[in-house]
């Protein structure tokens, strides 16, 4: 099973290539040597990941061809938009403007974030899904995530693996274990994009992390995202040189006062500098915030979306706060699903046309139906957990995580079933 469809290289200009998928032209950056026109490749996140032998590619494409167009039809049907309804004229005017990709004012975006009526929310979600389909077609990227360590030196008040939690059994995977997990994800299960994640664990040196990234890149070609917290600006540079091409680092809140409340001893500006440095180095940026923190205002959420845009987010990650029993915020109330879906939908409206919106595992944890609802509210990216089952429950950032004890094969089957039911295909490149 693979999570990218092979494409045929149609044109090469320096490090840029045009890739053909059943007549659709898409573009990617190439870092491979000796790539030729006519070669078949896998691509993820705007990068060529690896070549694939012609016979193998053509065999896969023969299986995909009919389904590729069938999925497009399903997606197109589900993304149709009609604003000729008996709704509040102010809402219809804003959504009509958004559907034409016109810039909304701050007050108009706040109005959308404050919607409460179920029917009005559904119209917002439909508008976001319409924009997703128009700008990105039916592509949906599927990443595998490997949580390599649950050690963390920070004391973030919302996080179950922070150093506040003295009840948690800690683990740290060895280099060989990480490489074996990556090999299984790529070679057995077909993932073309991997996220390596941990707490801020001083048990790994930057050189050790760079060596792990380099070996995965060489032995199991894939697009590699890193998510190790604040590792220093030089650390970011070393890992980029080793082959990492994406950074998952949420700022969690754009409100400096709120940031300080939930991140004792940490510096908001330091977090921003990491994200800005990563972008300048060439990383794909995956960032966003927590929705539902105590004291968070609607204006803060709006500023979160704006900040993610200013940080050049390739992918927006907005997930719900879920209280953990062994953290200082254990007794805080839990946010509702629609409060998060609103943020995903508005992010789709505000973001650049080719941006990706992530369906987080935390949202899946709140409600099983939230997965489908998020994908129909503008989301077009998700992650499956390929951490070894012996470690996965110990990465307890919040309780009862979705897929915590679920075999990867079961995750794959349910995810593919969901994607096919709504017409999505794993073609993760910008449409020309």
In CATH, what number is assigned to the domain containing residue 388? 3.20.20.70
Please say if the pLDDT value at position 1 is more than 50. no
Domain boundary (61, 77, 93) is at: 77
Q: Do residues 405 and 338 both lie within one domain?
A: yes
Domain that holds residue 12: 7-77
In a domain, 92, yes or no: no
**78-95 burial, b if ≥16 CB within 10 A, otherwise e?**
bbebebeeeeeeebbebb
Pinpoint the alpha helices (H) of 326-431.
337-350, 361-366, 370-375, 408-421
Q: Measured in whole angstroms, how far is the alpha carbon of residue 66 from the centre of its chain? A: 28
Sign of the dihedral defined by the CA atoms of residues 396, 397, 403, 409, in that order: negative
Strand partners, 320: 291
Please give the pLDDT value at position 83: 83
Average pLDDT over residues 124-139: 96
Please give the pLDDT value at position 85: 67
Average pLDDT over residues 49-74: 92
Sign of the dihedral defined by the CA atoms of residues 221, 224, 228, 233, in that order: positive
Q: Do residues 196 and 315 both lie within one domain?
A: yes
Q: Do residues 157 and 65 both lie within one domain?
A: no
Please say if the pLDDT value at position 237 is more than 90. yes
Please give the pLDDT value at position 431: 60
Domain boundary (77, 101, 123) is at: 77
127 contacts 349 by C-beta, under 8 angstroms: yes
pLDDT digits (tens, 9 = 90+) for 335-388: 999 999 999 999 999 999 999 999 999 999 999 899 999 999 999 999 999 999
Owner of token pair 């995977």: 173
Pinpoint the alpha helices (H) of 311-406.
337-350, 361-366, 370-375
Q: Do residues 327 and 208 both lie within one domain?
A: yes
In a domain, 84, yes or no: no
In a domain, 55, yes or no: yes
In a domain, 426, yes or no: yes
327 contacts 162 by C-beta, under 8 angstroms: yes
Please give the pLDDT value at position 428: 67
Q: Do residues 211 and 358 both lie within one domain?
A: yes
Strand partners, 12: 17
In a domain, 122, yes or no: no
Please give the pLDDT value at position 377: 98
pLDDT digits (tens, 9 = 90+) for 66-125: 888 899 999 999 999 988 766 678 999 999 999 999 999 999 999 999 999 999 999 999
Q: Do residues 273 and 403 both lie within one domain?
A: yes
Average pLDDT over all residues of the chain: 94
213 contacts 241 by C-beta, under 8 angstroms: no
Please say if the pLDDT value at position 429 is more than 90. no
Q: Do residues 52 and 153 both lie within one domain?
A: no
Average pLDDT over residues 285-311: 97
Q: Do residues 194 and 310 both lie within one domain?
A: yes
In a domain, 298, yes or no: yes
Please give the pLDDT value at position 45: 87
Q: How far apart are CA 102 and CA 96, in angstroms?
A: 9
Domain boundary (52, 77, 102) is at: 77
pLDDT digits (tens, 9 = 90+) for 242-259: 999 999 999 999 999 999
In a domain, 278, yes or no: yes
In eight-state DSSP terms, residue 265 is: T
In a domain, 73, yes or no: yes
Strand partners, 50: 42
33 CB neighbour count, 10 Å cutoff: 5
Q: Which of 20-24, 25-29, 30-34, 359-363 has the highest mean pLDDT?
A: 359-363
Owner of token pair 């990556």: 182
65 CB neighbour count, 10 Å cutoff: 12
Q: Do residues 285 and 370 both lie within one domain?
A: yes
Q: Do residues 204 and 340 both lie within one domain?
A: yes
**Number of folded domains that form the chain:** 2
CATH at residue 50: 2.30.30.140
Q: Do residues 67 and 157 both lie within one domain?
A: no
Q: Do residues 72 and 140 both lie within one domain?
A: no
Please say if the pLDDT value at position 3 is more than 70. no
Q: Give Rg (Cα) of the chain.
A: 21
């Amino acid at each position: 099973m693979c999570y990218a469809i092979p494409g045929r290289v149609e044109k090469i200009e320096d490090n840029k290539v045009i890739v053909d998928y059943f007549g659709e032209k898409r573009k990617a950056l190439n870092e491979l040597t000796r790539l030729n026109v006519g070669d078949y490749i896998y691509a993820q996140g705007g990068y060529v990941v690896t070549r694939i032998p012609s016979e193998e590619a053509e065999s896969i494409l023969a299986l995909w061809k009919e389904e590729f167009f069938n999925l497009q039809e399903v997606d197109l049907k589900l993304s149709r938009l009609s604003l000729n309804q008996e709704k509040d004229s102010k809402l219809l005017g804003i959504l009509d403007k958004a559907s034409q990709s016109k810039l909304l004012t701050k007050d108009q975006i706040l109005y959308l974030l404050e919607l409460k009526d179920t029917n009005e929310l559904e119209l917002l979600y439909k508008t976001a899904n319409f924009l997703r389909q128009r700008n990105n077609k039916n592509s949906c990227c599927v990443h595998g995530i490997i949580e390599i360590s649950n050690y963390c030196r920070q004391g973030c008040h919302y996080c179950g693996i922070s150093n506040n939690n003295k009840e948690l059994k800690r683990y740290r995977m060895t280099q060989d274990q990480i490489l074996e997990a990556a090999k299984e994800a790529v070679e057995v299960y077909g993932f073309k994009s991997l996220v390596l994640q941990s707490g801020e664990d001083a048990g790994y040196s930057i050189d050790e992390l760079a060596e792990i990234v380099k070996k995965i890149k060489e032995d199991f070609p894939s697009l590699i995202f890193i998510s190790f917290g604040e590792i220093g600006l030089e650390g970011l540079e070393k890992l980029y040189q080793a082959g990492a091409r994406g950074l998952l680092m949420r700022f969690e809140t754009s409100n400096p006062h709120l940031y300080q409340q939930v991140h004792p001893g940490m510096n908001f500006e330091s977090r921003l500098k990491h994200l800005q440095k990563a972008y300048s180095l060439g990383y794909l940026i995956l960032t966003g915030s927590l929705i539902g923190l105590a004291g968070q205002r609607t204006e803060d959420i709006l500023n979160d979306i704006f900040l993610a845009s200013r940080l050049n987010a390739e992918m927006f990650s907005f997930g719900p706060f879920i209280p953990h029993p062994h953290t200082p915020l254990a007794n805080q109330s839990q946010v509702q699903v629609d409060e998060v879906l609103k943020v995903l939908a508005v992010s789709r409206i505000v973001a650049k046309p080719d941006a990706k919106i992530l369906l987080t595992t935390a949202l899946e944890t709140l409600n099983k139906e939230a997965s489908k609802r998020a994908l129909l509210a503008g989301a077009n990216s998700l992650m499956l957990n390929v951490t070894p089952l012996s470690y996965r429950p110990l990465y307890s950032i919040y309780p009862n995580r979705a897929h915590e004890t679920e075999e990867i094969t079961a995750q794959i089957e349910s995810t593919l079933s969901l994607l096919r039911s709504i017409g999505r295909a794993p073609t993760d490149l910008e449409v020309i």
